[in-house]
Amino acid sequence: MPHAAGVKRPQAALVAALLALAACSNTELPPPPPPSEALEGALSIIAWPGYVERGATDPRYDWATQFERDTGCRLTVKTAGTSDEMVALMSRGGYDLVTASGDATLRLVRGGMVQPIDVARVAGYDTIDPRLREAPWHFVDGKHYGVPYQWGPNVLMYNTRVFRKPPSSWAVVFEGGKFPDGKPARGRVQAYDGPIYIADAALYLMAHQRALRIVDPYELNETQYAAALGLLRAQHRLIHRYWQDPDAQVQDFIKEGVVVSGSWPYQAHTLSAKHQPIASTIPGEGSTGWADTTMLHARARHPNCAYQWLSWSLTPRVQGDVASWFGSVPAVPAACRGNTLLGAEGCRDNGSEDFDRLHFWRTPEAACKSQGSCVPYSRWSTDYIAVMGGR
C-alpha cells in the first residue's frame, strides 16, 4: 500500500459519468469503484496499559514512533482497565482498533461492533502460533474477527518475605486463615475487579469440589454458578481492594500491606524492577489466562491505517518488545528468539510453556458445549457487582 494519499478522480467528473450512464435505459450502472487504499493519516486504538508504547516511560520501549514515521498514521491511544470498559468504549464508536481479551471478544462480535478481518491483507498472519490462529474467542462462524497480539497467565503474585515458598494453591486468596508470617490474611488479599473473576473461583472449585462436576470455568450451570458466587462472597471479608488499575495494585503491594493476589505478569515485572520482594507462580490448580486479539471496529474511520498496524503488530521485533515490557508471551513464536529486550529466556519466564495449564478468558454464553445451558455473562456482570459490594 502507498504511504501517502493516492491520486483520486475528481468527484464532479465521476458523478457526471454515473448520471450519464444512468440516463441510458439499456445500460446498466457500473459497479462502484473499489475502496481507496490510501492511508488516512490517523489511527485510534483502545488498548490495555503498556500495549502501545512510544518511549515515554522508558526510551527503549517504543514501537509507535517507527510505525508513525513509516506510515504517516498518527496514533491516538485510549487505555482501558477492564474488558467491560473496552466494550463500552467500542459501543460508543469513534475508535478503529481494540486489543480485546477473550471475555470481551464474543460480546463485540455478537453485538456487531467489530468486522471480519481479511487476513490476506495482514502480513505475517501465517507466522502466528497455530494454537491461536483460529481460537474460538475470535474465530466465529468461519470468520476471523481479529489478529492475535499477546497472551499470558493470570498469575498468583506474592510477597516473598511472607511466603518463603511459592504458594501451591489458590487457597491463599480464597480460604483465608493465617499466612506463614503468623498474621491473618484479612485485609492483605486482593481480587480482580471484573466479572470474569468468577471463573477463577470456578477453577478453584473444579479441583476442590469435584462433586460439582465443573469441566469448564466459563460454562457453569445454576448449581455450579451458585457455588462460585458463594466462594466469592466468603472471600469478600479478606479483600483489601478489588483491583482494576495495574499501577494502583503495584502501589498497594508497596505501601498498603497487600501480600498476595491474582495479578498479571506486568505488575510482577514492575515490582521486581522496583526491587520489591515480589514473585509470582501458577498454583497446582492451574490458572485462568488471557489471549488478546486486535479487532477492527465495524465503522472504523481509518481502516487502511488499521490494517497497516495489524501487520506491524505481528513483526517479531514489536512482538518481542511488547512481551518484554508487559510480561506477556508473543503471539508470534519467532519473536522469542533474538530480541535484545526480551532476552533468551524471556518467553519461558513469561509463561510460554504454560499454555496447556491455562483456561483462557472467554465470554460466558447461555448456549454452551459442556452441558445443556449455562449462566450467561449478563448474570456474571450484575452478580459480581453485588459480590464486590458485600451482598
Question: Comparing 12-16, 70-74, 274-278, 340-344, which segment has the lowest mean pLDDT?
Answer: 12-16
135 and 122 co-located in one domain: yes
Of 46 and 81, the one with more pLDDT? 46
281 in a structural domain:
no
Asked if residue 277 belongs to a domain, the reply is: no
Are the C-beta atoms of residues 283 and 156 closer than 8 Å to each other?
yes
Which of 8-12, 37-41, 207-211 is least confident? 8-12
End-to-end CA distance of the chain: give it in Å, rounded: 55
Query: Is 80 exceeded by the pLDDT of residue 366?
Result: yes
Residue 276 C-alpha cell reads as 520489591
Residue 196 near residue 84 (C-beta atoms within 8 A): no
Question: Measuring CA to CA, how many Å separate 280 from each of 33, 108, 183, 269?
Answer: 55, 32, 20, 9
Range of the domain at 235: 155-263+364-388
> Could you read off the pLDDT of 234-291 as tens digits, one per residue?
999 999 999 999 999 999 999 999 999 999 988 998 999 999 999 999 999 999 999 9
Determine, yes or no, domain membership for 28: no
Q: What is the pLDDT of residues 310-343, one digit of tens each?
A: 999 999 999 999 999 999 999 999 999 999 999 9
Same domain, 259 and 370: yes
CA dihedral 355, 142, 103, 67 (to 10 degrees): 80
Number of domains the chain is built from: 2
Cell numbers linked to 87:
466494550
CB atoms within 10 A of CB 161: 12
pLDDT range class, residue 372, cuts 50, 70, 90 = confident
Same domain, 332 and 372: no
75 located within any domain? yes
- Reply yes or no on whether the pLDDT at 102 is more than 90: yes
Question: Which pairing describes strands 42-47 and 74-79: parallel, antiparallel, or unpaired?
Answer: parallel
Residue 26 forms part of a structural domain: no
- The amino acid occupying position 371 is Q
> Does position 11 have pLDDT exceeding 80, yes or no?
no
| 186 assigned to some structural domain | yes
Same domain for 143 and 67: yes
If asked whether residues 181 and 219 sit together in one domain, one would say yes
CATH code of the domain containing 67: 3.40.190.10
- Indicate if 344 and 373 belong to the same structural domain: no
Q: Do 230 and 309 fall within a single domain? A: no
Task: Check whether residue 114 and residue 167 sit in a common domain.
Answer: no
d(CA 63, CA 53): 6
Q: Does the residue 168 lie in any domain?
A: yes
Convert the pLDDT of each residue in 146-170 to its tens digit: 999 999 999 999 999 999 999 999 9
375 and 237 housed in the same domain: yes
Distance CA 86, CA 101 (A): 9
Is 382 a member of any domain?
yes
Does residue 193 sit in the same domain as residue 310?
Answer: no
- Does the structure show a pLDDT above 80 at 128? yes
282 CB neighbour count, 10 Å cutoff: 18
DSSP state of 104: H
Of 323, 339, 172, nearest in space to 262 by CA: 172
Residue among 116, 102, 114 nearest 377 (CA)? 102
Confidence of residue 35 (pLDDT cuts 50, 70, 90): low
The C-alpha R_g of the chain, in whole angstroms, comes to 23
Distance CA 390, CA 111 (A): 31
Asked if 268 and 280 count as a contact pair (C-beta separation under 8 A), the reply is yes
Cell 465443573 found at: 214
| Whole-angstrom distance, CA of residue 169 vs CA of residue 150 | 26
- Are residues 99 and 169 both part of a single domain? no
The whole-angstrom separation of Cα 358 and Cα 101 is 14
Beta-sheet strands, E only, within 68-146: 74-79, 97-100, 114-115, 139-140, 143-144
Q: Are residues 81 and 227 in the same domain?
A: no
Q: Residue 7 — pLDDT band, cuts 50, 70, 90?
A: very low
b or e along 289-318 (b: 16 or more beta carbons within 10 Å of the residue's beta carbon)? bbbbbbbbbeebebbbbbbbbbbbbbbbbb
